[in-house]
Amino acid sequence: MMNKYESIFIINPDIGEENIKALVEKFKTLLETSAQLESIDEWGKRKLAYTIADKNDGYYVLANFSAESEFPRELERIYKITDGIIKYMIINKEK
């Protein structure tokens, strides 16, 4: 059974433009292969609501996708071990 999810992740802007593009592409590819990517929206560099890891800015990316119920746990694991991701959130849109 496929569920609809929304995920936002914030990339450390200090890693450089090329590395930011590589990370966005990495997660886009992951969502296309392991789930059904509906949309990915790069909001770009914005001021954080509060300081995270001594950073005041972050590069925001919003993704909407459908996936099996086990996939968000795997996506969260990958967010945690990926250098450059300073914050993320995954929500089930059907609850």
What is the rounded CA–CA span in Å between residue 54 and residue 64?
28
What is the rounded CA–CA span in Å between residue 35 and residue 30?
8
pLDDT tens, per residue, the chain with 95 residues: 799 999 999 999 999 999 999 999 999 999 999 999 999 999 999 999 999 989 999 999 999 999 999 999 999 999 999 999 999 999 999 86
Residue 16, sorted as left (phi over 0), alpha (psi -120 to 50) or beta, turns out to be left
User: What pLDDT shows up at residue 94?
Assistant: 81
User: What pLDDT shows up at residue 53?
Assistant: 87
**Can you list the domains of the chain with their CATH numbers?**
3-92 (3.30.70.60)
Structure token digits, residue 14: 């200090």
Structure token digits, residue 28: 């886009």
Placement of tokens 């909001």 in the chain? 43
